[in-house]
Amino acid sequence: MSYISEHGIKAVCFDIDGTLYPKSQTNRILVKTALADLPFALRYLMMRRKMREEDGFSDFPLSSADDFKRRELAIMYGERKDLDWFLEKERSVFHAKWEEEFLSVRMFPGMADFLRDLKKIVSVAFLTDFPVGTKLKAMGIEDVPQFVICSEDIGHLKPSRLPFRLLSERLCLNAEEILYVGDSEKKDVLGARNAGMKSLLITKDARKAKKSAADLVVSSYAEMREKLL
């Protein structure tokens, strides 16, 4: 009996970056784009880290993408810069270049077929902290998810409970009926478990695998397929 049928799972939700395709590809793109304005990029990464530390695993009301951007700006520059300047800077340094760079992203072997086979038996959704842009189209899987949630659009990043709670609400399912799949112990595994979901960690690091609080730990999508289908 598969894990899905044994535990009454009705939806499987995936992180995108570092989960659907190797994290090395994400890191390569981030480093390449950051070099266009390294001071801004480093300040940006520190800001995102601070946001996660401030929010922790707490729940929050849904807020707008504009409110999220205003918070980013306040953490990075206080009142020294205005929102229009910040949005254009973020677009030119990151988002515009990501749209082009992510066209080269390639998923793990067999991943697309696995997702489509999975979709035949449960709902499939994606939850990511970064804008999706052209990623799904580049990977040829834009038809797979029932929906996609970007944490930036709802006001708080993982591991906050808000994005996970919103998954349950949009799927019209209880949290325990959802399995969340990711490559980060804190953001994905602990974030999902804090929201009452089952969790699956994909990692080739034996030490991380042994210490993980995930309900399932796999080292490849072949192993994930074997356990879930």
Is the pTM above the cut of 0.85? yes
29/135 Cα distance (integer angstroms): 12
Q: How many CB atoms within 10 Å of residue 49? A: 12
pLDDT value for 96? 87
Which amino acid would we find at residue 165? Answer: R
Helix locations, the chain, DSSP H: 3-6, 23-34, 38-55, 65-77, 83-90, 96-101, 111-119, 135-139, 151-154, 161-171, 191-194, 206-211, 221-228
pLDDT at 106: 86
**Look-up of token digits 């799904």:** 136
pLDDT digits (tens, 9 = 90+) for 46-76: 999 999 999 999 999 999 999 999 999 999 9
| Structural domain boundaries in the chain | 1-229
Point out the residues of the chain with pLDDT beneath 70: none
Which pLDDT belongs to residue 138?
A: 87
> Over the stretch 117-140, which tens digit does the pLDDT of each residue have?
999 999 999 999 988 988 898 899
CB 177 within 8 A of CB 10: yes
CB 47: neighbour CB atoms within 10 A?
16
Q: Is the CATH code 3.40.50.300 the one for domain 1-229? A: no
Say if CB 122 and CB 229 are below 8 A apart: no
Inter-axis angle of helices 23-34 and 38-55, nearest 10: 130
3-state helix, strand, coil in the chain (%, to 5): 55, 10, 30
| CA dist., res. 169 & res. 132, Å (int) | 21
Contacts of 44 (CB under 8 A, 6+ apart): 76, 90, 93, 94
